[in-house]
Amino acid sequence: MKPALLRLLRIAAVAVSGLTAFAGVALAQATVIQGARVFTGDEVLPTATVVVRGRTIESVTLGTDIPAAAGAEAAVVDGAGMTLLPGLIDSHTHNFGPALEQALNFGVTTVLDMLTAEAMAAQWRRQQAAGAVPGRADILAGGPVTVAGGHGTQFGVALPTLDDPEQTEAFIADRVAAGADFIKVIYEAGTAGRPLPTFAVSTLPRIVAAAHSHDLLAVFHISTAEAAGEVIAADADGLVHMYFEGAGGAEIVEAAREAGIFVVPTLAVLETIAATGGGPELAADPLIAPFLTPEQRGGLGRDFGREPDPELMANILADVGALHASGVPILAGSDAPNPGTTHGASVHRELELLVRAGLTPVEALRAATAAPVDAFDLGDRGRIAPGLKADLILVRGDATADVRATRDIAAIWKDGSRFERTKAGPTTGRPRLEPTLLSDFEDLTARTLPPKWSHSTDAFAGGKSTVTTGAVSRDRSGNALRIEGEIKEGFAFPWSGVMVLLGARFNDPVDAGGIRALAFDARGEGATYQAMAFAESLGMQPAAASFEAGEEWVRIEIPLSSFSGLEPSGAWAFFIGGPTQLGAFWIEIDNVELVE
């Protein structure tokens, strides 16, 4: 049995409780949005007036007349020529740092997190349970389910893994005890070039049944049509990616329709996988650009290093259109902050892509408002109706005719409070990094590294790679740093080496705009090694560049322009270490410096 049988009763209960919440309480000053076109989440009201009091919507009336109940002291906002929408909902995100504030800055008032640390999710839930959080988006987070070394373990989030099918019920019960709002299952076998461990097909129905036994949805990450068919057969509630490897065909569409599942296509990130360029276009939009942080601009400019494949993107859009035409509910989700996406802004791109796939502008708006409420049983939001949460976005123009109008934001309300958008300030005042020697290792001892230097391996993200360092004599040239380690299985993108901070501490950006290259002496085994750059523009995903080092000392210079997506004005660390292939390695480095 699906967990949402009582959805309509719950929505009704929320509305009734909202209508009676003011009894015996002094009324707060009302806010009136007068004479706007109103998309309620279900229908378009050509001209209507909405009254907000406290955290909830008090009334919705046709026309421009202000209800007497609003009171003489009501703050009136002229909505003429504008469209009032429910706060947008992003149904596929990954959140850390300022993500929730960034989302709200673009009118996204609720996000569904598909992979985050359970402790962080619990902290967000406690904040929301304590009362209104008008300064950030609300978040509901899934309990992630993957296997050791599987997809999802490579992102630096400590994840429990389900490695024994006989522990399925206990594992899901633990996710429920941790507060999971739904269960997110990662069913991903990788590619021929980079296979990944994942679940046996026979385990999938057991995971779904365990989730349903706790009245939770089970939604699935997939990337292939074959996997989509398998999870549909396992009684999944939803797909939180569109399949893009292998044609789906009419059979998958019909199976999805019969099963009653929903689909979150995440077209914004699939557009990046197809290398058809939506991220940079979004970053250049004058309605978007002033509100992007350097990190967000950098994220929109990143890619997966693939060749453009417009045919792939056309096929994805066609498959989404076929699902929609068959009656499968489509939800808007960005998969931010993956390459080519960012929190908040990418939802507006997702809406545009949904229209390209065949949804009308109104249907696309519903995919980011009422549809996720219905699919995930959220109840108190996603619609404009008396008693519901006053999460609202007022945009200039007619978003019900041109969905790109959602980018032209006039006002945002979160929990009934008007949210003032933040424009990104200039990156001034940061320490200017001059060409400098980062270390010649002359004072290196057997047990320590120089200040600001540290070991860095995938153990940070649950991997098993190791590293050790020590001083070695370099003939008459003094000391060098020897790095020895082993790249081990257990992480999708393993690494092992050393990191040097440029600022005073971790994630403390400096202005390296005057630096041309990272340079150092190196000696190794004739292998191809890797260097990585960390910067505000890259988020938590470093940019990598490779170099070769043989038995004789050579001078290596890696131009900062070699690090894709790096904006030097926000750089904060560099990494030098072993190759990406498995196995033991060693490399010696000396005279590491930043050169102009």
Q: pLDDT 10s digit of each residue in the chain, 596 long?
A: 454 444 444 444 444 444 434 443 457 899 999 999 999 999 999 999 999 999 999 999 999 999 999 999 999 999 999 999 999 999 999 998 899 999 999 999 999 999 988 888 999 999 999 999 999 999 999 999 999 988 887 665 668 899 999 999 999 999 999 999 999 999 999 875 678 899 999 999 999 999 999 999 999 999 999 999 999 999 999 999 999 876 678 999 999 999 999 999 999 999 999 999 899 999 999 999 999 988 898 889 888 888 999 999 999 999 999 999 999 999 999 999 999 999 999 999 999 999 999 999 999 999 999 999 999 999 899 999 999 999 999 999 999 999 999 999 999 999 999 999 999 866 557 888 999 999 999 988 656 799 999 999 987 766 789 999 999 998 777 899 999 999 987 666 789 999 999 998 887 889 999 999 999 999 999 999 999 999 987 876 788 999 999 999 999 999 999 998 888 988 999 999 999 889 999 999 999 999 99
pLDDT at 428: 58
Q: What amino acid is encoded at 519 in this protein?
A: A
Q: Does 448 map to a domain?
A: yes
Q: Are residues 559 and 480 in the same domain?
A: yes
Q: Are residues 414 and 443 in the same domain?
A: no
Q: Average pLDDT, whole number, for the chain?
A: 91
Full domain range(s) for residue 447:
436-595
Q: Are residues 112 and 211 in the same domain?
A: yes
Q: Are residues 316 and 357 in the same domain?
A: yes
C-alpha 88/C-alpha 369 separation (Å) is 6
Among residues 571, 522, 15, the alpha carbon closest in space to that of 295 is found at: 571
Is 120 in contact with 227 (CB distance < 8 Å)?
no
Q: Are residues 283 and 365 in the same domain?
A: yes
Domain count, the chain: 2
pLDDT at 103: 98
Roughly what angle, to the nearest 10 degrees, separates helices 168-177 and 204-213? Answer: 40
Q: Are residues 156 and 99 in the same domain?
A: yes
C-alpha 363/C-alpha 403 separation (Å) is 10
Quick one: how far is CA 13 from the chain centroid?
A: 32
C-alpha 150/C-alpha 362 separation (Å) is 38
Among residues 377, 374, 413, the alpha carbon closest in space to that of 393 is found at: 413
Q: Are residues 252 and 339 in the same domain?
A: yes
Q: Are residues 388 and 263 in the same domain?
A: yes
Q: What is the pLDDT of residues 5-43, one digit of tens each?
A: 444 444 444 444 444 344 434 578 999 999 999 999 999
Is 560 in contact with 566 (CB distance < 8 Å)?
yes
Q: What amino acid is encoded at 591 in this protein?
A: N
Is 145 in contact with 184 (CB distance < 8 Å)?
yes
pTM confidence score: 0.81
Q: Are residues 445 and 564 in the same domain?
A: yes
Q: CA-CA distances (angstroms) from residue 228 to 130, 371, 587?
A: 39, 21, 44
Q: Are residues 132 and 255 in the same domain?
A: yes
C-alpha 108/C-alpha 348 separation (Å) is 10
Q: Are residues 182 and 243 in the same domain?
A: yes
What the block records as the tokens of 399 is 């978003």
Give the DSSP letter string of 336-366: BTSTT--TTHHHHHHHHHHHHTT--HHHHHH
Q: Does 72 map to a domain?
A: no
Among residues 30, 37, 43, 40, the alpha carbon closest in space to that of 80 is found at: 37
We report the CATH number of the domain holding residue 504 as 2.60.120.430
Strand ranges, E, within 373-523: 392-396, 409-414, 417-419, 436-439, 453-457, 466-473, 479-487, 496-501, 517-523
Q: What is the pLDDT of residues 495-544, one digit of tens each?
A: 999 999 999 888 788 999 999 999 999 999 999 999 999 998 787 678 89
